[in-house]
Amino acid sequence: MTNEQTTAADLGVATRVIPCLDVQGGKVVKGVNFENLREMGDPVELARDYYEQGADELTFLDVGASVEQRDTMYDVVRRTAEQVFIPLTVGGGVRSVDDVARLQEVGADKVGVNSAGIARPGLLDEIADRYGAQCLVLSLDIKRSARTASGFVVTTHGGRRETDLDALDWAREAIDRGAGELLVNSIDADGTKDGFDLELIGLVRELS
Distance CA 139, CA 76 (A): 20
42 catalytic per annotation: no
Whole-Å CA distances, 46 to 22, 105, 114, 183, 205: 11, 22, 24, 20, 30
SS (H, E, C) 69-111: CCCCCHHHHHHHHCCCCCCEEEECCCCCHHHHHHHHHCCCCEE
SS (H, E, C) 132-180: CHHHEEEEEEEEECCCCCCCEEEEECCCCEEEEEEHHHHHHHHHHHCCC
H or E element that contains 129? helix 122-131
Q: Which of 99, 141, 166, 190 is catalytic?
A: 141
* Single-letter amino acid, residue 89: T
Helix axes 97-105, 122-131, angle to 10 degrees: 40
Whether 4 and 157 have beta carbons less than 8 Å apart is answered as: no
176 catalytic per annotation: no
Q: Which residues are catalytic?
A: 22, 141
